[in-house]
Amino acid sequence: MIKTGRLETMTPGRENHREQLLGGARKCLREKGYARTTSRDIAAASKSNLGSIGYHFGSKETLLNEAIREGCAEWTDQLGRLAFADAGATPTERLRASWAALADTFEEQRPLLVAFVEALAQTERSEELRLQLAELYEESRAAVGRMVAASLGEAEIGEGHTRAVASFLIAVCEGLLLQRLVDPHRAPSGEELIAGLEAALPIALGQRSTTAVD
């Protein structure tokens, strides 16, 4: 465990206490959100004392950010499992499945998304928070990049392209989630997005090829 910049060895009991605090923080994020959760709320939800938050995480914000990171990682893993449920699916079919899963799990994960948006709004005034969320994005790019590589199989596109595709997919997913959060009835579905891309990309790529030949 990292505590105030020092690498420490945790005993099983202390590690369990740390997980207890994370569980309490995630409960508070679901019920109260990021901005309204206090240290006392987390201590009560995790049946811990206030001092344990500082001991294990340094601050309430660090604990809440770790709880968000943990929740986002689990959600990404869940979407990946659903996208790869059909071993014989094509990359496009897996993309369609992942976006359908995104829509299906939205209500369940809505409090996590709201907490993430609230945390993002604080990064302008907290360099520590910005760095924590930057690491979350880097972890997400790596996780989605592995899915992209696995989906393409032997058709490798290179690490740089894989990272760029992963960043694009994350941006699309977050954009979809935000639209669904603000305007759930008119936000596009995963199926509609895939249909639009299938209609537009061949034309766009065809025009590019023609221009390149000219």
SS3 content of the chain, % helix, strand, coil (to 5): 80, 0, 20
More confident residue, 104 or 15: 104
pLDDT of residue 22 exceeding 90, the answer is yes
DSSP code, position 2: E
pLDDT per position as a tens digit, 39-79: 999 999 999 999 999 999 999 999 999 999 999 999 999 99
Mean model confidence pLDDT for the chain: 86
pLDDT band at 5 (very low <50, low <70, confident <90, very high): very low
Count CA atoms closer than 13 A to 150's CA, side-chain side: 17
| pTM assigned to the model | 0.79
Rounded to an integer, what distance in angstroms lies between the CA atom of residue 162 and that of residue 144? 9
pLDDT of residue 1 exceeding 50, the answer is no
pLDDT at residue 208, rounded to an integer = 54
Q: Is the dihedral of CA 118, 83, 168, 164 positive or negative?
A: positive
More confident residue, 136 or 193: 136
**Domains of the chain with CATH codes:** 62-204 (1.10.357.10)
pLDDT band at 183 (very low <50, low <70, confident <90, very high): very high
Q: What contacts 24+ positions apart, CB below 8 Å, involve 76-82?
A: 76/140, 76/143, 76/144, 77/143, 78/105, 79/105, 80/143, 80/147
Relative orientation angle of helices 127-152 and 60-83, to the nearest 10 degrees: 10
Placement of tokens 């897996």 in the chain: 94
pLDDT at residue 195, rounded to an integer = 86
